[in-house]
Amino acid sequence: MAKRNPKRKAKRPSPKVWKFYKVEGGKLVRLKKMCPRCGAGVFMAEHPDRYACGKCGYTEWKPGAAPKTLGF
C-alpha cells in the first residue's frame, strides 16, 4: 500500500485581534462591534455601508445606507 500525503492547509495570516482592543485609563475598550446573535467574542466586519458577521451571516445596515437590491 502506498502512503497518502496528508492534506495541506492553506497558510493564512494570523488574525491580529490585538488591533480590536484599546486600553484607556486601565480599562479595556473594544473597537469593533459585537454580533448580537453570536454574543460576546464574535466581532462584526465593518464595510462601507454595513456591518456583517462572518460566523452567522447577520447584517446591520449603517444609518443612511439602504440595502442594495439584486438586479435579477
Q: Is the pLDDT of residue 58 over 90?
A: yes
Residue 33 pLDDT? 92
Q: How confident is the model at residue 1 (pLDDT cuts 50, 70, 90)?
A: low
Mean pLDDT, all residues of the chain: 86
Report the DSSP beta bridge partners of residue 35.
Answer: 39
pLDDT in tens, 2-25: 678 788 888 877 778 888 899 999
CA–CA gap between residue 62 and residue 64 (Å, rounded): 6
| 58 exposure class (CB count in 10 Å sphere: 0-12, 13-18, 19+) | middle
